[in-house]
A = this chain, B = another copy of it.
Amino acid sequence: MTSPAAAKPIRTAITDEDGIDFAIIELFFFAYRDFTSDPDQILADYGFGRAHHRVLHFVNRRPGLTVAELLDVLKITKQSLARVLKQLIDTDHIVQVQGPRDRRQRELYPTAKGRALALALARPQSRRIRAALEDSGTTERATIERFLEAMVNPELRAQIDIVPAQTSGKNHGDH
């Protein structure tokens, strides 16, 4: 420690003065850390990890999506998905159905078991969000939604839109 040619320590804290929005950067880090810690607890009981959660979530959100579409949303490789998906299929959380038009494709659907787990995982997260929005009205909620959406890469923003409100158009058709 304090080795011979050690560079000098800087003793002042980095702050927003440096022109960087550290306040929100840090808040975002802490918020996401705790946001994911809720489902992590439950997943541990199943021997699952965060990767299983993400797969389960999107299969429940967009039932019938293909493996390729899932890879695109998650931004991981086929090999990374393989193990996780196999485990979810083996444990009857997800089923594969041969694509109707293209029989090479496997459409992924949740089972009742998979739907239940997805809901169980989302419940504490939703509770946390509701608590955080406690005294907020529609305006505040809209502000937060707009902010989060604007944080997403514009090219990828399409992914969000796939499950619209709830009543509107079933789907956007193909691309």
Contacts and interface: CB of A to CB of B under 8 A. Distances in A.
Interface of A: 1-2, 6-35, 37, 54, 57, 60-64, 75, 92, 95-98, 106, 109-115, 118-119, 122-123, 125-126, 128-134, 136, 140, 143-145, 147-153, 156, 159-160, 163, 166
A134 B152 CA distance: 14
Contacts of A7: 92, 95, 111-113
Given A9-B109, A13-B60, A27-B152, 18 more contacts: A2-B95, A2-B97, A9-B95, A9-B111, A10-B60, A13-B61, A18-B119, A20-B122, A21-B129, A24-B144, A25-B125, A25-B126, A25-B129, A26-B160, A27-B149, A29-B57, A31-B152, A34-B156
Would you call the interface of chain A mostly helix, strand, loop, or mixed? helix
A76 B149 CA distance: 30
Nearest to A39: B25
Contacts of A129: 21, 24-25, 151
A61 B153 contact: no
Nearest to A8: B111
Contacts of A60: 10, 13-14
A115 B110 CA distance: 47
B34 A151 contact: yes
A119 to B, nearest CB: 6
